[in-house]
Amino acid sequence: MSLDHRLASEHEELRRTVEAFAHDVVAPRIGEFYENHAFPYDIVRQMGEMGLFGLPFPEEYGGMGGDYLALCIALEELARVDSSVAITLEAGVSLGAMPIHRYGTEEQKREWLPRLCSGEQLAAFGLTEPDCGSDAGGTRTTAVRDGDEWVINGTKCFITNSGTDITALITVTAVTGRNPDGSPRISTVIVPSDTPGLKVAAPYSKVGWNASDTRELSFADVRVPAANLLGEEGRGFAQFLRILDEGRIAISALATGLAQGCVDESVRYAHDRHAFGRPIGANQAIQFKIADMEMRAHTARTAWRDAASRLVAGEPFKKQAAMAKLYSSEVAVTNAREATQVHGGYGFMNEYPVARMWRDSKILEIGEGTSEVQRMLIARHLGLPGA
Protein backbone atom coordinates (compact mmCIF):
# COMPACT_ATOMS: atom_id res chain seq x y z
CA MET A 1 0.00 0.00 0.00
CA SER A 2 1.04 3.62 -0.46
CA LEU A 3 3.00 5.26 2.32
CA ASP A 4 1.74 8.70 1.32
CA HIS A 5 -0.01 9.82 4.50
CA ARG A 6 -0.76 13.37 3.46
CA LEU A 7 -4.30 14.23 4.42
CA ALA A 8 -7.18 14.46 1.98
CA SER A 9 -8.89 17.85 1.83
CA GLU A 10 -11.77 16.89 4.14
CA HIS A 11 -9.39 15.48 6.74
CA GLU A 12 -7.17 18.55 6.54
CA GLU A 13 -10.21 20.79 7.02
CA LEU A 14 -11.14 18.79 10.12
CA ARG A 15 -7.60 19.06 11.44
CA ARG A 16 -7.59 22.83 11.07
CA THR A 17 -11.01 23.13 12.71
CA VAL A 18 -9.99 21.08 15.75
CA GLU A 19 -6.63 22.86 15.92
CA ALA A 20 -8.42 26.22 16.15
CA PHE A 21 -10.85 24.89 18.77
CA ALA A 22 -8.01 23.51 20.87
CA HIS A 23 -6.10 26.79 20.87
CA ASP A 24 -9.05 29.16 21.11
CA VAL A 25 -11.32 27.28 23.51
CA VAL A 26 -9.38 24.57 25.33
CA ALA A 27 -5.99 26.21 25.90
CA PRO A 28 -7.21 29.34 27.76
CA ARG A 29 -9.38 27.39 30.21
CA ILE A 30 -8.06 23.89 30.74
CA GLY A 31 -5.40 24.83 33.29
CA GLU A 32 -8.04 25.83 35.82
CA PHE A 33 -9.97 22.58 35.35
CA TYR A 34 -6.75 20.61 35.61
CA GLU A 35 -5.58 22.19 38.84
CA ASN A 36 -9.03 21.80 40.41
CA HIS A 37 -9.40 18.19 39.22
CA ALA A 38 -12.67 19.25 37.59
CA PHE A 39 -14.36 17.71 34.56
CA PRO A 40 -14.71 20.33 31.75
CA TYR A 41 -18.40 19.84 30.98
CA ASP A 42 -18.73 23.00 28.89
CA ILE A 43 -15.75 22.10 26.69
CA VAL A 44 -17.09 18.58 26.24
CA ARG A 45 -20.48 20.01 25.31
CA GLN A 46 -18.88 22.15 22.62
CA MET A 47 -16.96 19.13 21.32
CA GLY A 48 -20.29 17.34 21.02
CA GLU A 49 -21.81 20.25 19.11
CA MET A 50 -18.87 20.09 16.70
CA GLY A 51 -19.67 16.44 16.04
CA LEU A 52 -16.37 15.11 17.39
CA PHE A 53 -18.01 12.28 19.36
CA GLY A 54 -19.78 11.12 16.20
CA LEU A 55 -16.83 11.31 13.80
CA PRO A 56 -16.44 7.61 12.87
CA PHE A 57 -20.10 6.62 13.05
CA PRO A 58 -22.77 6.46 10.31
CA GLU A 59 -25.12 9.39 9.87
CA GLU A 60 -28.15 7.13 10.37
CA TYR A 61 -27.16 6.80 14.04
CA GLY A 62 -26.41 10.47 14.53
CA GLY A 63 -22.77 10.28 13.51
CA MET A 64 -20.75 12.35 11.08
CA GLY A 65 -20.19 9.56 8.57
CA GLY A 66 -16.42 9.80 8.84
CA ASP A 67 -13.80 7.18 9.63
CA TYR A 68 -11.31 6.18 12.30
CA LEU A 69 -8.63 8.33 10.70
CA ALA A 70 -10.83 11.39 11.30
CA LEU A 71 -11.16 10.51 14.99
CA CYS A 72 -7.40 10.14 15.35
CA ILE A 73 -6.75 13.46 13.61
CA ALA A 74 -9.03 15.18 16.14
CA LEU A 75 -7.32 13.39 19.04
CA GLU A 76 -3.86 14.51 17.94
CA GLU A 77 -4.89 18.14 17.63
CA LEU A 78 -6.62 18.17 21.02
CA ALA A 79 -3.67 16.49 22.74
CA ARG A 80 -1.28 19.11 21.37
CA VAL A 81 -2.97 21.38 23.91
CA ASP A 82 -4.38 19.04 26.57
CA SER A 83 -4.58 15.28 27.10
CA SER A 84 -7.48 15.25 29.57
CA VAL A 85 -9.85 16.56 26.92
CA ALA A 86 -8.34 14.22 24.33
CA ILE A 87 -8.69 11.10 26.48
CA THR A 88 -12.30 12.01 27.25
CA LEU A 89 -13.00 11.93 23.52
CA GLU A 90 -10.89 8.83 22.90
CA ALA A 91 -12.52 6.79 25.67
CA GLY A 92 -15.99 8.08 24.83
CA VAL A 93 -15.68 7.02 21.20
CA SER A 94 -13.25 4.13 20.76
CA LEU A 95 -13.98 2.43 24.10
CA GLY A 96 -17.47 3.68 24.89
CA ALA A 97 -19.53 3.94 21.72
CA MET A 98 -17.48 1.78 19.34
CA PRO A 99 -18.36 -1.57 21.00
CA ILE A 100 -22.04 -0.78 20.49
CA HIS A 101 -21.43 0.19 16.88
CA ARG A 102 -19.31 -2.90 16.18
CA TYR A 103 -21.31 -5.53 18.07
CA GLY A 104 -24.67 -4.10 19.08
CA THR A 105 -28.05 -5.15 17.76
CA GLU A 106 -29.96 -2.70 15.62
CA GLU A 107 -32.13 -1.90 18.63
CA GLN A 108 -29.09 -1.23 20.84
CA LYS A 109 -27.52 1.00 18.22
CA ARG A 110 -30.66 3.09 17.78
CA GLU A 111 -31.17 3.36 21.53
CA TRP A 112 -27.66 4.46 22.47
CA LEU A 113 -25.60 5.74 19.54
CA PRO A 114 -27.50 8.99 18.78
CA ARG A 115 -27.02 10.22 22.35
CA LEU A 116 -23.37 9.16 22.40
CA CYS A 117 -22.61 10.66 18.99
CA SER A 118 -24.05 14.01 20.08
CA GLY A 119 -21.80 14.13 23.15
CA GLU A 120 -24.87 14.68 25.33
CA GLN A 121 -24.02 11.42 27.06
CA LEU A 122 -20.85 9.37 27.50
CA ALA A 123 -20.20 5.65 27.61
CA ALA A 124 -17.41 3.81 29.45
CA PHE A 125 -15.70 0.46 28.90
CA GLY A 126 -15.45 -1.69 32.05
CA LEU A 127 -12.54 -4.04 31.38
CA THR A 128 -9.68 -3.65 33.86
CA GLU A 129 -9.95 -5.23 37.32
CA PRO A 130 -7.81 -4.79 40.45
CA ASP A 131 -6.22 -8.26 40.15
CA CYS A 132 -5.96 -8.54 36.36
CA GLY A 133 -4.66 -5.59 34.40
CA SER A 134 -2.74 -6.83 31.37
CA ASP A 135 -4.16 -10.32 32.03
CA ALA A 136 -7.64 -9.43 30.83
CA GLY A 137 -8.37 -13.13 30.39
CA GLY A 138 -8.26 -13.40 34.17
CA THR A 139 -11.55 -11.50 34.54
CA ARG A 140 -13.33 -12.30 37.81
CA THR A 141 -16.47 -10.22 37.41
CA THR A 142 -19.36 -12.57 36.77
CA ALA A 143 -22.69 -12.27 34.98
CA VAL A 144 -25.12 -15.09 35.80
CA ARG A 145 -28.29 -15.63 33.80
CA ASP A 146 -31.42 -15.55 35.97
CA GLY A 147 -34.50 -15.84 33.80
CA ASP A 148 -34.68 -12.77 31.59
CA GLU A 149 -31.88 -10.95 33.43
CA TRP A 150 -28.14 -10.96 33.93
CA VAL A 151 -26.98 -10.64 37.54
CA ILE A 152 -23.55 -9.00 37.69
CA ASN A 153 -21.06 -9.04 40.57
CA GLY A 154 -17.49 -7.79 40.64
CA THR A 155 -15.20 -4.79 40.55
CA LYS A 156 -13.64 -2.73 37.76
CA CYS A 157 -10.87 -0.15 38.15
CA PHE A 158 -9.31 2.74 36.21
CA ILE A 159 -12.49 3.24 34.16
CA THR A 160 -12.51 6.52 32.19
CA ASN A 161 -15.76 8.52 31.83
CA SER A 162 -17.53 6.20 34.27
CA GLY A 163 -18.76 8.70 36.85
CA THR A 164 -19.58 11.97 35.12
CA ASP A 165 -22.99 13.60 35.30
CA ILE A 166 -23.50 12.67 31.64
CA THR A 167 -22.32 9.04 31.80
CA ALA A 168 -25.10 6.89 30.35
CA LEU A 169 -23.72 3.36 30.39
CA ILE A 170 -20.78 1.08 31.01
CA THR A 171 -20.13 -1.95 28.82
CA VAL A 172 -18.84 -4.58 31.25
CA THR A 173 -16.80 -7.68 30.51
CA ALA A 174 -17.82 -10.59 32.73
CA VAL A 175 -17.51 -14.35 32.98
CA THR A 176 -20.80 -15.89 31.88
CA GLY A 177 -19.75 -19.55 32.07
CA ARG A 178 -16.96 -22.01 31.28
CA ASN A 179 -15.75 -23.44 28.00
CA PRO A 180 -15.26 -27.21 27.57
CA ASP A 181 -11.55 -26.81 28.37
CA GLY A 182 -12.41 -25.05 31.64
CA SER A 183 -11.37 -21.58 30.50
CA PRO A 184 -13.72 -18.69 31.32
CA ARG A 185 -16.37 -17.76 28.78
CA ILE A 186 -16.24 -13.95 28.74
CA SER A 187 -19.12 -11.84 27.47
CA THR A 188 -19.93 -8.14 27.39
CA VAL A 189 -23.05 -6.67 28.94
CA ILE A 190 -24.44 -3.12 28.76
CA VAL A 191 -25.10 -1.66 32.21
CA PRO A 192 -26.96 1.68 32.30
CA SER A 193 -25.36 4.05 34.81
CA ASP A 194 -28.51 4.35 36.94
CA THR A 195 -28.88 0.60 37.51
CA PRO A 196 -29.39 -0.33 41.20
CA GLY A 197 -26.38 -2.07 42.72
CA LEU A 198 -23.85 -0.23 40.58
CA LYS A 199 -21.60 1.80 42.87
CA VAL A 200 -19.35 4.48 41.42
CA ALA A 201 -16.42 5.41 43.67
CA ALA A 202 -14.99 8.88 44.13
CA PRO A 203 -12.55 10.02 41.43
CA TYR A 204 -8.99 8.75 41.75
CA SER A 205 -6.26 11.14 42.82
CA LYS A 206 -4.03 10.87 39.75
CA VAL A 207 -0.60 12.05 38.68
CA GLY A 208 -1.99 13.35 35.40
CA TRP A 209 -5.11 13.55 33.24
CA ASN A 210 -6.57 15.54 36.12
CA ALA A 211 -9.40 17.06 34.10
CA SER A 212 -10.67 13.64 33.00
CA ASP A 213 -12.94 11.29 34.96
CA THR A 214 -11.45 7.99 36.18
CA ARG A 215 -13.06 5.80 38.84
CA GLU A 216 -13.50 2.37 40.35
CA LEU A 217 -16.81 0.59 39.84
CA SER A 218 -18.39 -2.16 41.92
CA PHE A 219 -21.32 -4.37 40.98
CA ALA A 220 -23.41 -5.96 43.73
CA ASP A 221 -26.21 -8.12 42.31
CA VAL A 222 -26.67 -5.65 39.47
CA ARG A 223 -29.58 -6.82 37.33
CA VAL A 224 -29.99 -5.86 33.69
CA PRO A 225 -32.23 -7.33 30.98
CA ALA A 226 -30.90 -10.34 29.06
CA ALA A 227 -31.26 -8.19 25.94
CA ASN A 228 -28.36 -6.05 27.23
CA LEU A 229 -25.88 -8.70 26.13
CA LEU A 230 -23.55 -7.01 23.63
CA GLY A 231 -22.72 -9.32 20.75
CA GLU A 232 -22.60 -13.09 21.17
CA GLU A 233 -22.27 -14.75 24.54
CA GLY A 234 -18.73 -16.00 25.01
CA ARG A 235 -17.32 -13.67 22.36
CA GLY A 236 -16.53 -10.84 24.73
CA PHE A 237 -12.80 -11.63 24.83
CA ALA A 238 -12.48 -11.48 21.05
CA GLN A 239 -14.61 -8.35 20.93
CA PHE A 240 -12.53 -6.34 23.37
CA LEU A 241 -9.29 -7.48 21.74
CA ARG A 242 -10.54 -5.91 18.50
CA ILE A 243 -11.61 -2.77 20.36
CA LEU A 244 -8.19 -2.52 22.01
CA ASP A 245 -6.40 -3.02 18.68
CA GLU A 246 -8.25 -0.04 17.27
CA GLY A 247 -7.86 1.94 20.47
CA ARG A 248 -4.08 1.62 20.31
CA ILE A 249 -4.10 3.66 17.12
CA ALA A 250 -6.19 6.32 18.85
CA ILE A 251 -3.84 6.40 21.85
CA SER A 252 -0.90 6.64 19.45
CA ALA A 253 -2.48 9.69 17.84
CA LEU A 254 -3.06 11.20 21.27
CA ALA A 255 0.54 10.50 22.29
CA THR A 256 1.78 12.06 19.06
CA GLY A 257 -0.26 15.16 19.83
CA LEU A 258 1.36 15.45 23.24
CA ALA A 259 4.80 14.98 21.70
CA GLN A 260 4.06 17.69 19.10
CA GLY A 261 2.67 19.99 21.77
CA CYS A 262 6.00 19.70 23.58
CA VAL A 263 7.72 20.85 20.39
CA ASP A 264 5.28 23.76 19.98
CA GLU A 265 5.83 24.98 23.53
CA SER A 266 9.59 24.53 23.36
CA VAL A 267 9.93 26.48 20.10
CA ARG A 268 7.85 29.30 21.56
CA TYR A 269 9.87 29.37 24.78
CA ALA A 270 13.18 29.18 22.90
CA HIS A 271 12.22 32.39 21.08
CA ASP A 272 10.93 34.25 24.14
CA ARG A 273 13.39 33.23 26.83
CA HIS A 274 16.64 35.22 26.82
CA ALA A 275 19.84 34.33 28.66
CA PHE A 276 23.26 35.92 28.37
CA GLY A 277 21.92 38.53 25.98
CA ARG A 278 20.23 36.34 23.37
CA PRO A 279 17.31 33.91 22.93
CA ILE A 280 18.11 30.47 24.29
CA GLY A 281 17.01 29.09 20.92
CA ALA A 282 20.18 30.55 19.45
CA ASN A 283 22.17 27.96 21.39
CA GLN A 284 22.93 24.86 19.39
CA ALA A 285 22.31 22.61 22.41
CA ILE A 286 18.70 23.82 22.50
CA GLN A 287 18.34 23.68 18.73
CA PHE A 288 19.47 20.05 18.59
CA LYS A 289 17.23 19.06 21.47
CA ILE A 290 14.14 20.55 19.82
CA ALA A 291 15.13 19.17 16.40
CA ASP A 292 15.23 15.67 17.89
CA MET A 293 11.81 16.26 19.49
CA GLU A 294 10.35 17.26 16.12
CA MET A 295 11.88 14.22 14.43
CA ARG A 296 10.32 11.89 17.01
CA ALA A 297 6.88 13.51 16.73
CA HIS A 298 6.96 13.31 12.93
CA THR A 299 7.94 9.64 12.97
CA ALA A 300 5.22 8.84 15.51
CA ARG A 301 2.65 10.56 13.29
CA THR A 302 3.77 8.52 10.31
CA ALA A 303 3.37 5.34 12.37
CA TRP A 304 -0.18 5.99 13.59
CA ARG A 305 -1.36 7.23 10.19
CA ASP A 306 -0.01 4.07 8.60
CA ALA A 307 -1.92 1.91 11.10
CA ALA A 308 -5.09 3.99 10.74
CA SER A 309 -4.93 3.86 6.95
CA ARG A 310 -4.70 0.07 7.09
CA LEU A 311 -7.66 -0.12 9.46
CA VAL A 312 -9.79 2.12 7.26
CA ALA A 313 -8.81 0.11 4.16
CA GLY A 314 -9.84 -3.16 5.82
CA GLU A 315 -6.27 -4.47 5.81
CA PRO A 316 -4.44 -6.22 8.69
CA PHE A 317 -3.26 -3.58 11.13
CA LYS A 318 -2.61 -5.22 14.53
CA LYS A 319 1.19 -5.21 14.28
CA GLN A 320 1.23 -1.65 12.96
CA ALA A 321 -1.10 -0.54 15.77
CA ALA A 322 1.16 -2.12 18.38
CA MET A 323 4.26 -0.51 16.88
CA ALA A 324 2.59 2.88 16.65
CA LYS A 325 1.33 2.75 20.22
CA LEU A 326 4.67 1.58 21.58
CA TYR A 327 6.76 4.12 19.72
CA SER A 328 4.52 7.16 20.13
CA SER A 329 3.95 6.61 23.85
CA GLU A 330 7.67 6.39 24.50
CA VAL A 331 8.22 9.44 22.29
CA ALA A 332 5.64 11.36 24.32
CA VAL A 333 7.48 10.57 27.56
CA THR A 334 10.84 11.55 26.06
CA ASN A 335 9.58 14.78 24.50
CA ALA A 336 7.81 15.78 27.71
CA ARG A 337 11.03 15.28 29.67
CA GLU A 338 13.07 17.22 27.13
CA ALA A 339 10.54 20.05 26.91
CA THR A 340 10.65 20.40 30.68
CA GLN A 341 14.44 20.61 30.46
CA VAL A 342 14.24 23.31 27.77
CA HIS A 343 11.99 25.35 30.07
CA GLY A 344 14.35 24.95 33.02
CA GLY A 345 12.80 25.90 36.35
CA TYR A 346 9.67 27.17 34.64
CA GLY A 347 9.07 23.68 33.28
CA PHE A 348 8.46 22.56 36.85
CA MET A 349 5.74 25.16 37.34
CA ASN A 350 2.16 24.08 36.68
CA GLU A 351 1.33 27.38 34.97
CA TYR A 352 3.36 26.18 31.97
CA PRO A 353 1.71 23.59 29.69
CA VAL A 354 4.83 21.42 29.53
CA ALA A 355 4.48 20.65 33.24
CA ARG A 356 1.01 19.29 32.53
CA MET A 357 2.33 17.37 29.53
CA TRP A 358 5.09 15.86 31.63
CA ARG A 359 2.56 14.61 34.17
CA ASP A 360 0.21 13.33 31.46
CA SER A 361 2.76 11.44 29.40
CA LYS A 362 3.66 8.45 31.57
CA ILE A 363 0.22 6.82 31.52
CA LEU A 364 0.53 6.51 27.74
CA GLU A 365 3.11 3.73 28.24
CA ILE A 366 0.63 1.89 30.47
CA GLY A 367 -2.98 2.37 29.40
CA GLU A 368 -4.59 0.31 26.60
CA GLY A 369 -1.72 -2.14 26.64
CA THR A 370 1.63 -1.54 28.33
CA SER A 371 4.83 -1.13 26.36
CA GLU A 372 5.75 -4.66 27.39
CA VAL A 373 2.48 -6.00 25.96
CA GLN A 374 3.09 -4.14 22.68
CA ARG A 375 6.53 -5.76 22.38
CA MET A 376 4.96 -9.16 23.01
CA LEU A 377 2.43 -8.54 20.24
CA ILE A 378 5.10 -7.41 17.78
CA ALA A 379 7.25 -10.45 18.60
CA ARG A 380 4.24 -12.71 18.08
CA HIS A 381 3.54 -11.21 14.65
CA LEU A 382 7.19 -11.81 13.73
CA GLY A 383 6.74 -15.49 14.55
CA LEU A 384 9.49 -15.55 17.15
CA PRO A 385 9.71 -18.82 19.13
CA GLY A 386 7.74 -18.79 22.36
CA ALA A 387 5.89 -15.61 21.46
Please answer whether residues 188 and 99 qualify as being in contact, where contact means their C-beta atoms are separated by less than 8 angstroms.
yes
Alpha carbons 184 and 160: distance in angstroms, whole number: 25
* One domain for residues 39 and 79: yes
pLDDT at 75: 98
Please answer whether residues 214 and 160 qualify as being in contact, where contact means their C-beta atoms are separated by less than 8 angstroms.
yes
* One domain for residues 266 and 345: yes
* One domain for residues 320 and 286: yes
147 in a domain, yes or no?
yes
* One domain for residues 26 and 113: yes
Active site (annotated) includes residue 149: no
**Residue 222's beta-bridge partner residues?**
152
Domain that holds residue 159: 124-233
* One domain for residues 99 and 116: yes
Q: Which CATH number covers residue 167?
A: 2.40.110.10
Residue 309: which H helix or E strand, with range? Answer: helix 284-312
**Mean pLDDT of successive 10-residue segments in the chain (387 residues)?**
73 97 97 96 98 98 97 98 98 97 97 98 96 79 97 97 98 94 94 98 97 98 98 92 95 98 98 96 98 98 97 97 98 98 96 96 96 96 93
pLDDT at 1: 46
* One domain for residues 171 and 214: yes
Please answer whether residues 191 and 221 qualify as being in contact, where contact means their C-beta atoms are separated by less than 8 angstroms.
no
Please answer whether residues 1 and 313 qualify as being in contact, where contact means their C-beta atoms are separated by less than 8 angstroms.
yes
- This prediction has a pTM of 0.95
SS3 state of residue 328: helix
342 in a domain, yes or no?
yes
Strand pairing class (167-178; 122-126): parallel
Q: Which residues contact 252 (CB under 8 A, 6 or more apart)?
A: 72, 300, 303, 304, 307, 321, 324, 325, 327, 328, 329
* One domain for residues 100 and 18: yes
pLDDT at 346: 95
pLDDT at 132: 81
* One domain for residues 75 and 145: no
Which of 72, 105, 122 represents a domain boundary (last residue)? 122
The C-alpha torsion from 41 through 201 and 54 to 102, rounded to 10°, is 180
Alpha carbons 362 and 120: distance in angstroms, whole number: 30
Q: Distances from the Cα of 58 to the Cαs of 50, 112, 124, 316, 327, in angstroms?
A: 16, 13, 20, 22, 31
Nearest one of 83, 181, 166 to 122, comparing CA atoms: 166
Residue 220: which H helix or E strand, with range? Answer: strand 214-225
What's the number of domains the chain is made of? 3
* One domain for residues 148 and 161: yes
Active-site residue (options: 77, 129, 330, 368): 368
pLDDT at 138: 84
* One domain for residues 290 and 172: no
Q: Which CATH number covers residue 248?
A: 1.20.140.10
Alpha carbons 149 and 143: distance in angstroms, whole number: 9
* One domain for residues 149 and 277: no
* One domain for residues 176 and 253: no
217: alpha, beta or left? (left if phi > 0; alpha if psi -120 to 50) = beta
